[in-house]
Amino acid sequence: MNINGQDFIHGMSAVGAGIAMIAGVGPGVGQGIAAGLGANAVGRNPGAKSDITSTMLLGQAVAETTGLYGFVVAIILMFVKPFN
């Protein structure tokens, strides 16, 4: 099998993109925990529903940025071919 340097770089770009997509696991777990705890808090204190919901959604938006950064890195690695 004859693999040149450019083929190796493209293959490693695909591997790096796959590894970058693992970054989506953390935000998913974190958002699930936040939603569960938010529902628990609303159940304990229904009067504070709007404050709890706004704080929870802000936290989830911040947590989602990590997954989006991983996705952007994966897209760059897959479609921006170095050394062409």
User: Residue 84: pLDDT band by 50, 70, 90 thresholds?
Assistant: low
1 pLDDT above the threshold of 80: no
Q: What are 10-33's pLDDT values in tens digits?
A: 888 889 888 988 888 888 888 889
Q: What CATH number was assigned to the domain covering residues 28-77? A: 1.20.20.10
For residue 82, the model assigns a pLDDT of 65
What global pTM score does this model have?
A: 0.71
For residue 49, the model assigns a pLDDT of 92
Q: What are 33-50's pLDDT values in tens digits?
A: 988 998 999 999 999 999
Q: Are 56 and 35 in contact (CB under 8 A)?
A: yes
Q: What is the dihedral of CA 63, 68, 69, 75, to 10 degrees?
A: 160
Residue 14, H or E segment: helix 5-21
